[in-house]
Amino acid sequence: MKFDIITIFPNIFDGFLTESLLARAQKLGIIKIGIHNLRKWTTDRHQKVDDKPFGGGVGMVMKVEPIFKAVRSLRPDKKTRVILFSPRGKKLDQKTAKRLSKYQQLILICGRYEGVDERVAEYIANEVISIGDYVLNGGEVATIVVIEAVSRMIPGFIAKQESALKFDHAQYTRPEIVEIKKGGKIKRLKVPAVLLSGDHAKIEKWRKKHGALT
């Protein structure tokens, strides 16, 4: 899997994408990540990527031409998906992450300013994805979320692949009882008895009840 990121702030990704499992997966060749400065595809000496929106409005909007050129340059003749991020897009979930992991390449467009020319969503991106009903400064955080969620679905990224195919559930570890002082009283925080029972069927039932669906 190749992830190609189009952004005007390439240094944002330096730390996150070079640590932990993402770093390991890149070293092993399981995934590849390319970070591309959108300004590379501008033609003016100021490397301008934004302009005023027609009809007026607050702030600037990212132009369509540099994004079109970037995608055309990065998109080879193979199984590729071009993704734009917006709160108006389809909500990212585990099913979507698994579907996207089947592609050979994802091109991830990071918007900035007050948004992106709508023609990018209509004619360049294959789909528009949202990571939640809130507004961020840009698409870089959403890109990181997608890269991690999708990478977990790729065989070899996680040593125990079954961990990638399940959502998290409530978990406990030692000690079995923890005492804390709250409001002048001692509270004993216990591990649920079923987890100590050794009954695997009951434990699995409890986990399904106290976690998200697989």
> Structural domain boundaries of the chain?
2-163, 167-214
Secondary structure element (H or E) that encloses residue 124, with its range: none
Detail the residues annotated as belonging to a binding site: 111, 131-136
Q: Label residue 132 left, alpha or beta by phi (over 0 means left) and psi (-120 to 50 means alpha).
A: left
Q: What is the pLDDT of residue 214?
A: 46
76/178: higher pLDDT:
178
pLDDT at 164 over 60: no
Q: What is the mean pLDDT of residues 55-65?
A: 88
pTM: 0.85
What pLDDT band is residue 33 in, cutting at 50, 70 and 90?
Answer: very high
Q: Can you tell me the distance from the alpha carbon of 88 to that of 135, in angstroms, rounded to the nearest whole number?
A: 10
Domain 167-214 class in CATH = mainly alpha
Detail the residues annotated as belonging to a binding site for S-adenosyl-L-methionine: 111, 131-136
Kindly report the CA angle at 107 between 87 and 85, in degrees rounded to 5? 5
Q: What is the pLDDT of residue 141?
A: 97
Tell me: cis bond preceding 10? Omega within 30 of 0 counts: no
pLDDT at 167 over 80: no
**How high does pLDDT run on average in the chain?**
91
Q: Can you tell me the distance from the alpha carbon of 94 to that of 108, in angstroms, rounded to the nearest whole number?
A: 18
Q: What is the pLDDT of residue 163?
A: 61
The CA–CA distances, whole Å, from 138 to 2, 130, 161 equal 22, 12, 32
pLDDT at 213 over 60: no
Just give the CATH number of 2-163.
3.40.1280.10
For residue range 78-106, list pLDDT tens digits in order: 789 999 999 999 999 999 999 999 999 99
